[in-house]
């Protein structure tokens, strides 16, 4: 199923993600005159130009259409801004150190591990570049202390926050898995199926490809439960969950809808194929149990609820007709039962 673009510069997420970063740049320039040293415009103006370019690029460039590595350019471009701000203050680092952490935090939240490492290296390079390239020594022991301090802080922040973010992502993924998976069978649950169906219908509108659904229900499952106990019934449901997906394509979606009822979403499957596909799944039911199915082909205009209602009606028709069969809504096709 098609997923929403969640990359750092995806347009629908840009305002929320770029806002704090852009605000920090604005505050850096707004508070610059409050520094102790006289601001040298020859350095401050280029810094302002780059900062404006960063903001403009973040807002205007369609980042979802450019190679992913280029998404790192605006945050990394903030390092020259800090370097120029430092020069505009006569080389003093006081007050500018925290700004060096902004690209690091950006990549911790939205970037890859390599980008985080690159940001930490950018911190160190921005701090030592005047010494290494221009031969400028720190004005005092305090200035040297600040250089070492902010380099160490960047490393500690990167290591600590990265571990925290990895744990948050792991727990988030686990919560999402639990929220979208049926605990007994391990299949997607009803919530996943109901979210997927409207998306697939919308995709069908764009592509013109057919969509079909089916509802499958175990026959006389209550009697089976009474005979074998609930544990036996649970084992049967687990066995079905292990067998039925093997009869489907990767693009198909089989979900436990509730109790002994299952829902099947079949993209790119129309009237010519739906009966064959559903029967292939249904007849894979273990021999000690039978199942009935009702299928419906989307007509291209009806709501998801109406499509589901037609499949349900077809399922009830299959039950009334003797069970152990598939009925396709509007087709009246009744294949001969495979067994008793």
Nearest one of 101, 102, 66, 96 to 82, comparing CA atoms? 96
> DSSP assignment, residue 140?
S
Pick the CATH number of 190-328 from 3.30.70.270, 3.30.365.10, 3.40.630.40, 3.40.50.2020: 3.30.70.270
Measured CA distances, 118 to 63, 72, 78 (Å): 20, 10, 13
Enumerate the H helices of 135-220 as residue ranges. Answer: 141-180, 190-207
Q: Phi/psi class of residue 95: alpha, beta or left (left: φ > 0; alpha: ψ in -120 to 50)?
A: left
In degrees and rounded to multiples of 5, residue 57 shows phi and psi of: -65, -40
Nearest one of 19, 21, 6, 7 to 106, comparing CA atoms? 21
Nearest one of 84, 17, 108, 88 to 55, comparing CA atoms? 17
Residue pair 58/14 in contact by the 8 Å Cβ criterion: yes
Q: How far is Cα 246 from Cα 234, in angstroms, rounded to an integer?
A: 19
Show pLDDT as tens, one digit a residue, over the chain (340 residues): 334 444 444 444 554 555 566 666 666 666 655 555 566 778 878 888 887 787 777 677 776 677 877 778 888 888 888 888 777 777 666 566 777 888 888 888 777 888 888 888 888 888 776 665 555 555 555 566 667 777 888 888 888 888 888 888 788 778 877 788 998 999 999 999 999 999 999 999 999 999 999 999 999 999 999 999 999 999 999 999 999 999 999 999 999 999 999 999 999 999 999 999 999 999 999 888 999 999 999 999 999 999 999 999 999 999 999 999 999 997 544 444 444 3
Q: How far is Cα 286 from Cα 169, in angstroms, rounded to an integer?
A: 39
Query: Active-site residue among 71, 87, 200, 260?
Result: 260
Q: How far is Cα 44 from Cα 75, in angstroms, rounded to an integer?
A: 19
Measured CA distances, 110 to 73, 90, 125, 158 (Å): 13, 34, 22, 13
Residue pair 292/323 in contact by the 8 Å Cβ criterion: yes
Residue pair 144/153 in contact by the 8 Å Cβ criterion: no
The encoded tokens of residue 232 equal 């036996």
pTM (whole model) above 0.75 = no
Residue pair 253/214 in contact by the 8 Å Cβ criterion: no
Any catalytic annotation for residue 260? Answer: yes
């Amino acid at each position: 199923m098609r997923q929403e673009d969640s990359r750092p510069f995806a347009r629908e997420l840009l305002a929320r993600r770029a806002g704090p970063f852009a605000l920090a740049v604005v505050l850096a320039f707004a508070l610059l005159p409050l520094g102790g040293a006289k601001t040298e415009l020859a350095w401050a103006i280029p810094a302002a130009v780059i900062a404006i370019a960063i903001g403009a690029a973040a807002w205007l460039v369609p980042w979802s259409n450019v190679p992913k590595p280029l998404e790192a350019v605006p945050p990394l471009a903030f390092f020259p801004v800090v370097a120029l701000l430092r020069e505009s203050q006569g080389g003093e680092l006081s007050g500018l150190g925290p700004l060096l952490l902004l690209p690091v935090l950006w990549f911790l939240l939205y970037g890859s591990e390599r980008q985080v490492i690159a940001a930490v290296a950018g911190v160190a390079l921005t701090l030592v570049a005047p010494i290494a390239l221009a031969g400028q020594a720190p004005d005092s022991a305090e200035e040297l202390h600040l250089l070492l301090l902010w380099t160490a802080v960047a490393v500690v922040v990167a290591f600590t926050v990265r571990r925290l973010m990895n744990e948050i992502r792991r727990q988030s993924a686990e919560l999402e898995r639990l929220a979208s998976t049926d605990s007994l069978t391990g299949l997607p649950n009803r919530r996943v199926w109901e979210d997927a169906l409207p998306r697939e219908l919308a995709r069908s509108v764009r592509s013109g490809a057919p969509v079909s659904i089916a509802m499958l229900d175990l026959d006389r499952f209550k009697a089976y439960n009474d005979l074998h106990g609930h544990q036996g019934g649970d084992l049967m449901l687990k066995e079905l969950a292990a067998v039925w997906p093997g009869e489907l394509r990767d693009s198909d979606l089989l979900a436990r809808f509730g109790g002994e009822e299952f829902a099947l979403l079949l993209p790119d499957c129309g009237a010519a194929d739906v009966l064959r596909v559903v029967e292939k799944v249904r007849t894979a039911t273990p021999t000690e149990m039978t199942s009935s199915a009702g299928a419906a082909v989307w007509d291209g205009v009806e709501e998801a609820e109406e499509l589901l209602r037609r499949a349900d009606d077809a399922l009830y028709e299959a039950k009334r007709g003797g069970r152990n069969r598939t009925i396709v809504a509007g087709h009246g096709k009744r294949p001969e039962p495979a067994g008793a």
